[in-house]
Amino acid sequence: MFCRECGKKNDPHASYCRYDGYPLKAEQGGRLWPAESMSCMECGAEKSDPAARYCTACGSSFDTYEIADPASVTPFNAELGRKVLPGFLLSAGLLFVISQLIVLFVGKIERPSGYLQLQLPVDQPVIESLNFLDFSLFANLTSITLTLGNDDFTQHISYVSSGLAFMAVVAVLALVPGGFLVKRLNPGITAWRAALVFATGYGALLGILSLLAGVDNVSGHGHYQTSIDFCMWSAVINGVFLGFAGSYAGMGLRSDRHMPESRSINDRAICFGIFTVMAGYVLMVLVSVILNAQYEPQLETDPAVDVAEEQRSTFASWSFVAKMGSYLFHLAIGNSFIVNIPGPESETVTYSFLSGELAARTSDIAFLIPPDFFASSEIIILVLTAVFFIGAGFLLANVRGGTVRTIAIYSFAVAVMMTFFAFYTSTNYSFQVEEQAHQFHEDTSVFFGFRLLRTFIISLLYAGVTALVGALLRKLWKGGME
């Protein structure tokens, strides 16, 4: 069977062309809509002729094929699960392989705890006992419970988040190829339905792993006993969210010319929002690398005690650079970092580029924000981030359809992604202390991070305004070329 669009030969029983996704069977119904836009939706080149059907620059079709009843193409059934399964297995395999590589790498360095900087009071035997299942759950930001104990001191710490948001890079690297494979093998599949099935299976997988992984009864230095457990519900919820976002983004790497125009707008806008957050984080990590290379920690300590070298290794660790990139990203779009430790003399400190709050006031948590890390760099970071987001809006305006609707969907996707990772960038925990020498119980709730509602609103407004500016610049630029 030959495709009417590209002319290439397909399997006789195929429903869609394996090369461009066009329907091959007439009984599927639908009609071909000629594009009304004067520019190519793929590369932005202007039409050489209003009646042209293909772009002379990249060869993409200007037409959109609308299926009569798209909902009936990929119903929720066993067949949809079968189509998603190859991509799901690829993502699960990549997750385990990458996690195993991390385990091998950590095992070769002298101080494994310096690699992750887990922000947990764990010793080296615990770090060395973590396996690839543990790192797979860390990569999906699964919450943990930590228990330390001996004859004189017990401590139990419940982490609402592990504070390891940077580890989600591993999950992204595993999920995006899986989503792409699903769309590659089944071009006509409805992306959001396939991503939902994918996410359900991924969440279930992580929930099972949470019951199998963990470190139990490890003897550390001295007489401490340590154990780590992963929260199953956290694994399931994070698996569903990351599984949907990652696989959906992977599916967005393939063009959906055969889908209805309205659905194409939604798909492209959401995928654009997801990729904008991912690319923005990578950009801030690069900025963090540059700043970290210039930073020399000033330690207020006894000169006789040589701890400078150990402190420098902390600030030089990969995890520190990755976490700083996350903080930079939020601060650059106007979000505020909050330090809140309740107590008799408690004080809430809010730090942002816009407030003028000095980072020196957060010297007690210098492992999160070094006192002079942002010195004289705020304006550069703000401008760089603004240019990046405006550029994203400039490219987004190329999506065929209503500009306002597209920007609204894109902004919502950015806000959801930024809020989710703000939660896991924050370190939230409570601990209970019991000492036989001092019979008392103290429950302390500590929060380092970002307020979620404010994060969502700020991200939504920032993404919307910058995208609108980018769209207007594109309109002016195109108008100037005519």
Q: What is the pLDDT of residue 337?
A: 82
Name 162's bridge partners. none
Radius of gyration of the chain measured on its C-alpha atoms? 26
| 454 and 368 part of one domain | yes
Give residue 365's domain range: 260-298+312-482
Is 52 domain-assigned?
Answer: no
* pTM for the predicted model, two decimal places: 0.74
Count CB neighbours of 246 within 10 A: 27
Q: What is the pLDDT of residue 74?
A: 63
Is 83 domain-assigned?
Answer: yes
| 118 and 247 part of one domain | yes
| φ, ψ dihedrals at 54, nearest 5° | -130, 150
| 452 and 473 part of one domain | yes
| 175 and 283 part of one domain | no
| Final residue of a structural domain among 244, 259, 274 | 259
| 233 and 378 part of one domain | no
Q: What is the pLDDT of residue 436?
A: 36
Is 409 domain-assigned?
Answer: yes
| 120 and 266 part of one domain | no
Is 47 domain-assigned?
Answer: no
Is 428 domain-assigned?
Answer: yes
User: How many C-alpha atoms does 258 have within 13 Å on its Cβ side?
Assistant: 29
Is 271 domain-assigned?
Answer: yes
Q: What is the pLDDT of residue 440?
A: 36
| 281 and 330 part of one domain | yes
| 172 and 244 part of one domain | yes
* Token pair listed for 45: 């080149």
The count of domains in the chain is 2
In angstroms, rounded to a whole number, what is the distance separating the alpha carbons of residues 32 and 18? 19
Is 251 domain-assigned?
Answer: yes
Reported residue count of the chain is: 482
Q: What is the pLDDT of residue 30?
A: 47
Q: What is the pLDDT of residue 404?
A: 83
| 341 and 480 part of one domain | yes
| 331 and 458 part of one domain | yes
Ordered mean pLDDT values, 10 residues apiece, the chain (482 residues): 66 72 58 59 70 72 54 70 95 96 80 60 73 91 77 58 74 94 86 92 96 80 72 93 93 60 66 90 88 62 44 62 85 85 67 63 55 72 93 79 81 94 76 42 65 94 94 76 43
Is 305 domain-assigned?
Answer: no
Three-state DSSP string of the chain: CECCCCCCECCCCCCECCCCCCECCHHHCCEEECCCCCECCCCCCECCCCCCCECCCCCCECCEEECCCHHHCCCCCHHHHHHHHHHHHHHHHHHHHHHHHHHHHHHHCCCCHHHHCCCCCCCHHHHHHCCHHHHHHHHCCCCEEEEEECCCEEEEEEECCCCCHHHHHHHHHHHHHHHHHHHHHCCCCCHHHHHHHHHHHHHHHHHHHHHHCCEEEEECCCCCEEEEEECHHHHHHHHHHHHHHHHHHHHCCCCCCCCCHHHHHHHHHHHHHHHHHHHHHHHHHHHHHHHHHHCCCCCCCCCCCCCHHHHHHHHCCHHHHHHHHHHHHHHHCCCCEEEECCCCCCCCEEECCCCCCCHHHHHHHCCCCCCCCCCCCHHHHHHHHHHHHHHHHHHHCCCCCCHHHHHHHHHHHHHHHHHHHHHHHCEEEEEEEEECCCCCCEEEEEEEECCHHHHHHHHHHHHHHHHHHHHHHHHHHHHHHC
| 469 and 342 part of one domain | yes
| 344 and 373 part of one domain | yes
